């Protein structure tokens, strides 16, 4: 994985502005700590920061290639999982390769197929290709949106980057937020509307979208989106195909020239990945799999069972370590450190985020990076295969709103009267727009139709928020995290899978359980869904409360938006919050942490409101 950025300015000679390009490059050093490079062609510059994973010597970027009276240059961030197949295909067409890097394959795939190359790529990526003679810039993001690609058009050109901070460093984008951006933060955050970069004039390519910038115009195309098709496989055939697709996705992602490890929570998803990898290693006489889990100091003293978190992870982790025979490591996080890590979590996202869910992952990845460069994680199975309670509770399922943020009351309560008065209306329109654009079949039942809407809501909103978290918090420490459940073939198959098959035996992710029950301990395969571990220690709440107290005493731009009485009510009556701010577990401590992140974001990024 890497960081990329670039600038196309019709009138500026960028070779005379090396400092600005250097500043842009420095913003991505955490994503690519191993190497860096810049390509400049008068008014175009492409920037690359590299984290070396495959083919150190032949994967250097920016990478250039001349062919057909044209010169091409690429900057690429990602991993391609069908590299071998595409390389063989291109060799048959006469292409030669210097090494085995996927960057070279992507570049020559573009040379051969042009913009249609996007449909041929199976992987997680964001890249830019510049055609020197045609003066054409091609930008592309992977089908599922695992890797980010932000951009901003200005009067004479376009600037792009893996992270928003690169755009800000160019000077072409100011840290300005309009009412729309504030509404996103206060009424949708930590999620954001697909494609919305929060800062004024900052956008992001959608999952499965590419863009061509030429002659001062940007043309965007969706090359991949969820399409309704009839599911013709029987339940038994579905089990077999799902087992094949996921196993193939996992094994394809075990390729690396540097050490690799695995996240293990003791839940179904990570356990499938760990066991599949362990079995692969044994068949190929390789070393044992190395696993990592996360926990918090004294957490079991304060753990309380709930509908969303019925069991703690520790016993299930031990069971999986024994079953898969892994070398296991447990990272125990300090609660005070967790609160302090809210600040670098903002810097990782360039926005207020998923608070301690972010900061814990950031600290976790920091520890893993001491020994490993690549990890595999079980992210996104819940969104694709009905893992959340809102899929199974019929009252919530048919409730006409985002299921993870059903009430806006708690969000409204922290704002002053008269601030963002159309927030609820804005959220409702975003929800309805997603439902309206859910592709369906004329034969869909009421339940099938709603399940397609629910799939899209989770896929384009909740899942994207988690993928953003995974990318930023891992790459902040230069750790590449791969997510096999996000293989686009699985996504397509899951979208059209009938609910009665998907919820096999009436269970959340029932079809996944059935497909892999033979390789897992029974207690793992049929364990009730439990979310990412959070801290239950009151130390964390107290730390957040202390920080918010200091914020309430300041007179800032943010304080003009916040209601002190509303915030104090949360601090004094934390158990009175019945509906989470976002997701399943974002309650009083996390709401206070969100205010801490908001304050830091306004200050660190010198945010102004327009």
Round to whole Å and give the CA distance between 278 and 180. Answer: 48
Question: Which DSSP string corresponds to 48-115?
Answer: EEE---S-TTT--SSEEEEETTEEEEEEEEEEETTHHHHHHHHHHTT---SS--HHHHHHHHHHHHGG
> Which ranges of 256-404 does DSSP label H, i.e. alpha helix?
268-283, 299-302, 314-324, 335-340, 342-349, 355-368, 381-385, 389-392, 394-397
> Residues 6 or more apart from 355 whose CB is under 8 A from it?
190, 342, 345, 586, 590, 593, 594, 596, 597
Tokens, residue 386? 């009905």
At 475, is the secondary structure helix, strand, or coil?
A: helix
Q: Compute, in degrees rounded to 10, the torsion defined by CA atoms 253, 259, 260, 265.
A: 180
Instruction: Report helix, strand or coil for 128.
Output: strand
Instruction: Please tell me the distance from the alpha carbon of residue 385 to that of residue 239, in angstroms, as a whole number.
Output: 13
Q: First-to-last CA distance in the chain?
A: 36
β-strands 35-41, 44-50 pairing: antiparallel
What are 303's two structure tokens? Answer: 């753990």
State whether the Cα torsion 196-347-150-488 is positive or negative.
negative
Are 61 and 50 in contact by the 8 Å Cβ rule? The answer is yes
Classify residue 448 as left (phi > 0), alpha (psi -120 to 50) or beta.
Answer: alpha
Interatomic CA distance for residues 230 and 85, integer angstroms: 29
- Give me Rg for the CA atoms of the chain: 24
Residue at token pair 């510059």: 45
Contact 226/463 with Cβ under 8 angstroms?
no
Residue (of 271, 250, 245) closest to 492 by Cα position: 245
How far apart CA 591 and CA 588 sit, in angstroms, is: 5
Query: What contacts 309, CB < 8 A, 6 or more positions away?
Result: 530, 531, 534, 584, 585
Tokens representing residue 443 in the block: 């034969």
Q: How far apart are CA 482 and CA 581, in angstroms?
A: 28
Give yes or no: 2 in active site. yes
Cα dist. 604→151, 169, 249, 492 in Å?
Answer: 21, 14, 40, 40
Exposure letters 253-278 (e unless 16+ CB within 10 A, then b)? bbbbeeebbbbbbbbbbbbbbbbbbb
CA 301 to chain centre: 32
Give the three-class secondary structure for 609: strand
Among all residues, which ones are annotated catalytic?
A: 2
């Amino acid at each position: 994985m890497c960081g990329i950025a670039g600038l196309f300015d019709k009138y500026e000679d960028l070779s005379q502005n090396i400092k600005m390009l250097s500043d842009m490059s420095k913003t991505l050093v955490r994503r690519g700590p191993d190497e860096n490079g810049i390509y400049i062609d008068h008014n175009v510059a492409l920037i690359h920061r590299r984290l070396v994973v495959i083919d150190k010597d032949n994967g250097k970027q920016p990478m250039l290639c001349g062919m057909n009276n044209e010169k091409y240059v690429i900057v690429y961030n990602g991993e391609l999982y069908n590299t071998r197949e595409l390389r063989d295909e291109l060799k048959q067409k006469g292409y030669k390769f210097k090494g085995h890097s996927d960057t070279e394959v992507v570049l020559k795939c573009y040379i051969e197929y042009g913009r249609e190359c996007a449909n041929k790529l199976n992987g997680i990526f964001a890249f830019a290709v510049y055609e020197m003679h045609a003066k054409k810039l091609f930008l592309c993001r992977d089908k599922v949106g695992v890797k980010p690609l932000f951009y901003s058009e200005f009067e004479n050109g376009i600037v792009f980057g893996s992270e928003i901070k690169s755009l800000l460093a160019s000077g072409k984008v100011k840290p300005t937020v309009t009412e729309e951006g504030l509404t996103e933060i206060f009424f949708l955050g930590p999620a954001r509307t697909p494609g919305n970069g929060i800062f004024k004039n900052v956008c992001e390519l959608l999952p499965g979208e590419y863009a061509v910038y030429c002659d001062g115009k940007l043309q965007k195309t969706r090359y991949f989106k969820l399409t309704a098709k009839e599911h013709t496989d029987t339940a038994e055939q579905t089990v077999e195909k799902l087992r094949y697709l996921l196993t193939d996705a996992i094994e394809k992602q075990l390729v690396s020239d540097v050490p690799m490890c695995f996240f293990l929570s003791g839940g179904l998803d990570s356990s499938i990945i760990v066991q599949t990898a362990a079995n692969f290693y044994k068949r190929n006489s390789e070393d044992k799999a190395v696993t990592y889990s996360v926990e918090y100091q004294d957490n079991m003293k304060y753990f309380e069972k709930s509908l969303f978190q019925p069991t703690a992870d520790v016993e299930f982790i031990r069971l999986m370590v024994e079953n898969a025979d892994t070398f296991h490591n447990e990272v125990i996080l300090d609660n005070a450190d967790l609160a302090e890590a809210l600040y670098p979590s903002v810097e990782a996202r360039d926005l207020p985020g998923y608070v301690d869910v972010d900061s814990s992952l950031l600290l976790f990845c920091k520890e893993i990076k001491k020994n490993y460069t690549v990890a595999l994680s079980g992210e996104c199975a819940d969104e694709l295969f009905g893992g959340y309670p809102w899929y199974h509770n019929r009252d919530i399922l048919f409730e006409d709103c985002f299921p993870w943020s059903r009430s806006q009351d708690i969000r409204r309560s922290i704002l002053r009267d008269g601030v963002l008065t159309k927030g609820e209306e804005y959220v409702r329109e975003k929800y309805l727009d997603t439902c309206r654009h859910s592709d369906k079949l004329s034969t869909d039942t009421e339940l099938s139709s709603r399940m397609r809407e629910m799939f899209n809501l989770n896929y384009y909103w909740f899942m994207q928020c988690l993928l953003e978290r995974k990318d930023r918090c891992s790459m902040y420490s230069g750790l590449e995290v791969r997510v096999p459940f996000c293989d686009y073939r699985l996504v397509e198959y899951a979208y059209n899978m009938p609910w009665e098959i998907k919820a096999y035996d009436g269970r959340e992710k029932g079809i996944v359980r059935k497909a892999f029950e033979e390789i897992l301990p029974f207690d793992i395969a049929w364990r009730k869904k439990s979310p990412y571990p959070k801290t239950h220690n009151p130390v964390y709440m107290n730390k957040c409360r202390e920080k918010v107290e200091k914020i309430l005493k300041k007179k800032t731009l943010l304080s003009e938006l916040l209601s002190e009485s509303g915030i104090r009510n949360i601090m004094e009556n934390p158990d009175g919050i019945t509906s989470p701010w976002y997701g399943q577990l974002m309650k009083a401590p996390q709401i206070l942490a969100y205010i801490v992140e908001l304050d830091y974001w306004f200050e660190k990024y010198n945010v102004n409101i327009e």
